[in-house]
């Protein structure tokens, strides 16, 4: 009888223990922004396994439907319409020494400064800077001028 009860409890508790190990659909918050895990874009994919910061351990997740993204995409070469490769460097033309120079620019000067805002006038505080450690209260509960 005890064996049957133990077996029934074991069979009944197993699905509850495995319920947290289901699968998750991955929906990105912004379309076009990939969700990357281990170099794989898992946007709109299904992920199974215990994965995340809420678990006490990390296992390798199983990803169904992810796309591997190359971290360094291949960049094609530029060929103009004539089929020639572009030249390297700049083609600079040195102007002649006796050319007409432009007029000099007008002078310009700009400066910045900062200062603190003026403080308000300080009045004497109601509480002294070094109050006594004990304040004597009137005896009898009511001040003498209010009797």
The model carries a pTM of 0.34
Q: Would you kindly state where each structural domain of the chain is located, as residue ranges?
A: 20-68
Q: What is the pLDDT of residue 100?
A: 92
Q: Phi and psi (nearest 5°) for 6?
A: -65, -40
Per-residue pLDDT tens digits of the chain, which is 147 residues long: 788 888 888 777 666 655 556 678 888 888 878 888 878 888 888 888 765 556 566 667 788 888 888 776 666 666 666 666 666 777 778 889 999 999 999 999 999 998 888 877 676 667 667 777 776 776 766 655 655
Plot region of 121 (φ>0 → left; ψ -120 to 50 → alpha; else → beta): beta
What's the sign of the alpha-carbon dihedral 28, 33, 37, 40? positive
């Amino acid at each position: 009888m005890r064996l049957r009860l133990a077996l029934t409890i074991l069979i009944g508790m197993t699905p509850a223990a495995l319920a947290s190990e289901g699968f998750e659909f991955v929906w990105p918050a912004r379309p076009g922004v990939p969700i990357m895990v281990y170099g794989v874009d898992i946007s709109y994919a299904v992920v199974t396994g215990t994965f995340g910061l809420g678990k006490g351990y990390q296992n390798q997740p199983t990803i169904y439907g992810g796309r591997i993204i190359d971290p360094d995409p291949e960049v094609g070469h530029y060929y103009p319409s004539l089929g020639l490769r572009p030249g390297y460097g700049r083609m600079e033309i040195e102007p002649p020494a006796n050319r007409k120079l432009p007029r000099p620019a007008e002078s310009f000067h700009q400066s910045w400064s900062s200062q603190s805002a003026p403080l308000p006038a300080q009045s004497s505080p109601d509480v002294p800077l070094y109050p006594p450690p004990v304040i004597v209260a009137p005896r009898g509960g009511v001040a003498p001028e209010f009797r």
